[in-house]
């Protein structure tokens, strides 16, 4: 265990940093005098004390972090930080007379930090503002990855930052550096993320939201999280203008933030538009919106204008793993909600705030399948798999194939486990898929008009586990469960 002391030291530093996040709802609580200020202060003190104890107690254990250390740290961060995010949530709800147990609290915290956007809470409009700010702010923190932020601002992580960065950044191709130093790369990505956030907030505010609604829904939009401060989600505003703003920023956040960084840093906007994954992502989301709109129009659900409005908004919302809703789309023809849920697994880019398979893996798989079909006719043909002008290494292809196998086995196994608990198959499959893809709403009882509160504790823990797996892209976390990981 002593081999992991340097990792635990860094984990303590992360927890110390995370304690500062609790000050955000604390300030809101103080400004609104909602009587919860002491809860946020105590929670911040506990997180700070635990983090400082780990950090200070193991301070002398310093060394370069290895790939195994990065996997260990990333996995335990996404398990431990929700625990400290759960405490103020449970205590504040108990103070206002709406107590929840640990299972529900931890589910809500994991849902926020993984940007899933599923909830077990009801009567959100009646909650004190500081609680809703905390729920939505957790999404914003998790959107680009707390560890990437930590690499950017904590110098002590600069030593082994490259291992953390590779373990945290989503997608199969992680070794290309945007700047010579990983810390500068992480700072650049978070600078883009913060800039998007500011512009999104101002757009929502100018579009008619109150300042606090604009802030909370900015948190939920830029992070592709989708947790709202209203029970009716985006339908609360009934505004085509605000829906249009949301569509623009959901599309932008679904693309690789590294492309924005390169375009703004080097002025290479031509390369931005030539990126094959970006084009595929936008084509899938916008094209999916037109498909859903066409189905709604031809089936007579809406006229052409309303069909385009609702179809485009919900296809992009669900497909980008955000999960905002303005209507209960489970009343639409069955094709539409199922198509949107499946779209959420593939439509977002690597390097975005979204989860799921990622578009770059889909492109690699399609090109690999095309190469194999060519080989059937021309066995001696030399046809490398390429993305843009880059030849994809065989190791990346094997990594993608391994991920797809694990992804499929995970979804099927967890779905069957929920069916074994007597949950109906539609709800079971969609709950797991929505959790693994970090989408939020599913089908059946966990659809847009319901939530996950109707699940049993065991079913909720299965979905919680699925959310963590989805955020970590499975292979990182599952590696912890293999004997080879723990061998010297």
Distance between CA atoms of residues 74 and 69, nearest Å: 8
Is residue 305 packed enough to be buried (19+ CB in 10 Å), middle (13-18) or exposed (0-12)? Answer: exposed
**Alpha-carbon gap, residue 136 to 196, rounded angstroms:** 16
In whole angstroms, give the CA distance from residue 369 to residue 3. Answer: 43
Note the pLDDT of residue 157: 47
Query: Would you say residue 224 lies in a domain?
Result: no
Residue 111 lies in domain: 2-179
Beta-strand runs (E) in 13-73:
none
For residue range 31-78, what is the model confidence (pLDDT) as tens digits? 999 989 999 999 999 999 999 998 888 777 776 667 677 778 888 888
Among residues 179, 194, 220, the one where a domain terminates is 179
Contact 55, 12 (CB under 8 A): yes
**pTM of the prediction?**
0.91
Other CB atoms within a 10 A radius of the CB of residue 23 amount to 14
101 domain-assigned: yes
Whether residue 339 is contained in a domain is answered as: no
pLDDT of residue 158: 44
Question: Is residue 410 situated within a structural domain?
Answer: yes
User: Is residue 136 situated within a structural domain?
Assistant: yes
Q: What is the pLDDT of residue 14?
A: 86
Q: Which pLDDT belongs to residue 159?
A: 43
List CB contacts of 2: < 8 A, sequence separation 6 or more.
61
Q: Left (φ > 0), alpha (ψ -120 to 50) or beta: where does 262 sit?
A: alpha
How many CB atoms neighbour CB 67 within 10 A? 13
Largest CA distance in the chain: 74
Cα 356 to Cα 347: distance, rounded to the nearest angstrom? 8
Q: Is residue 38 part of a domain?
A: yes
Domain termination site, one of 179, 213, 233: 179
Q: Is 388 helix (H, G, I), strand (E, B) or coil?
A: coil
- Identify the domain boundary among 147, 179, 211: 179
Q: Judge whether 301 and 332 are in contact, CB under 8 Å.
A: yes
* 310, part of any domain: no
Residue 97, classed as helix, strand or coil, is coil
The residues, any chain, with a CB within 8 Å of residue 278's CB and separated by 6 or more, are 255, 256, 259, 272, 349
Domain tally for the chain? 2
| pLDDT value at residue 375 | 84
> Which residues contact residue 213 at a Cβ distance below 8 angstroms, ignoring those fewer than 6 apart?
204, 229, 237
Which residues of the chain fall below pLDDT 50? 155-160, 173
Asked if 113 and 80 count as a contact pair (C-beta separation under 8 A), the reply is no
How many C-beta neighbours within 10 Å does residue 31 have? 12
Cα distance from N-terminal residue to C-terminal residue, the chain = 11
In a domain, 436, yes or no: yes
Per-residue confidence (pLDDT) for residue 199, from 0 to 100: 97
């Amino acid at each position: 265990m002593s081999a992991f002391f340097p990792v635990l030291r860094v984990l303590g530093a992360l927890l110390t940093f995370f304690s500062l996040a609790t000050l955000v709802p604390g300030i809101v609580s103080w400004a609104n005098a909602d009587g919860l200020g002491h809860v946020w202060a105590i929670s911040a003190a506990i997180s700070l004390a635990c983090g400082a104890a780990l950090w200070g107690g193991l301070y002398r254990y310093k060394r370069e972090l290895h790939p195994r250390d990065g996997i260990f740290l990333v996995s335990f961060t996404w398990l431990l930080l929700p625990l400290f995010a759960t405490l103020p949530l449970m205590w504040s709800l108990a103070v206002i007379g709406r107590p929840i147990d640990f299972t529900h609290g931890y589910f809500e915290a994991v849902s926020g930090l993984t940007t899933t956007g599923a909830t077990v809470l009801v009567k959100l409009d009646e909650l004190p503002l500081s609680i809703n700010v905390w729920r939505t702010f957790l999404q914003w923190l998790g959107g680009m990855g707390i560890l990437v932020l930590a690499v950017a601002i904590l110098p002590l992580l600069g030593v082994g930052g490259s291992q953390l960065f590779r373990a945290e950044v989503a997608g199969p191709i992680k070794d290309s550096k945007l700047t010579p130093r990983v810390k500068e790369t992480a700072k650049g990505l978070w600078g883009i993320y913060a800039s998007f956030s500011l512009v999104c907030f101002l757009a929502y505010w100018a579009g008619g939201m109150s300042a606090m609604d604009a802030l909370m829904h900015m948190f939920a939009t830029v992070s592709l999280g989708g947790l709202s401060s209203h029970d009716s989600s985006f339908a609360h505003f009934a505004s085509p203008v605000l829906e249009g703003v949301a569509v623009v920023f959901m599309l932008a956040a679904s693309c690789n933030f590294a492309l924005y960084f390169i375009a703004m840093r080097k002025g290479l906007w031509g390369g931005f538009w030539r990126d094959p994954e970006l084009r595929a992502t936008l084509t899938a989301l916008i094209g999916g919106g037109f498909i859903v709109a066409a189905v709604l129009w031809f089936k007579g659900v809406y006229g052409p204008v309303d069909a385009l409005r609702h179809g485009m908004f919900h296809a992009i919302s669900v497909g980008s793993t955000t999960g905002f809703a303005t209507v209960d789309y489970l009343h639409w023809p069955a094709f539409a909600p199922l198509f949107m849920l499946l779209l959420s697994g593939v439509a977002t880019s690597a390097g975005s705030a979204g989860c799921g398979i990622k578009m770059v893996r889909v492109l690699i798989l399609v090109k690999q399948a095309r190469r194999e079909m060519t080989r059937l006719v021309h066995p001696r043909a030399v046809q490398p798999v390429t993305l843009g002008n880059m030849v994809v290494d065989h190791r990346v292809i094997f990594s993608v194939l391994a991920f797809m196998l694990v992804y499929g086995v995970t979804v099927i196994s967890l779905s069957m486990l929920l069916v074994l608990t007597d949950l109906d198959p539609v709800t079971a499959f969609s709950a797991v898929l929505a959790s693994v893809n970090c989408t939020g709403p599913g089908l059946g009882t966990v659809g847009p008009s319901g939530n996950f509160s109707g699940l049993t504790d065991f079913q909720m823990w299965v979905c919680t586990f699925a959310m963590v797996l989805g955020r970590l892209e499975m292979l990182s976390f599952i590696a912890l469960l293999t004997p080879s990981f723990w061998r010297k």
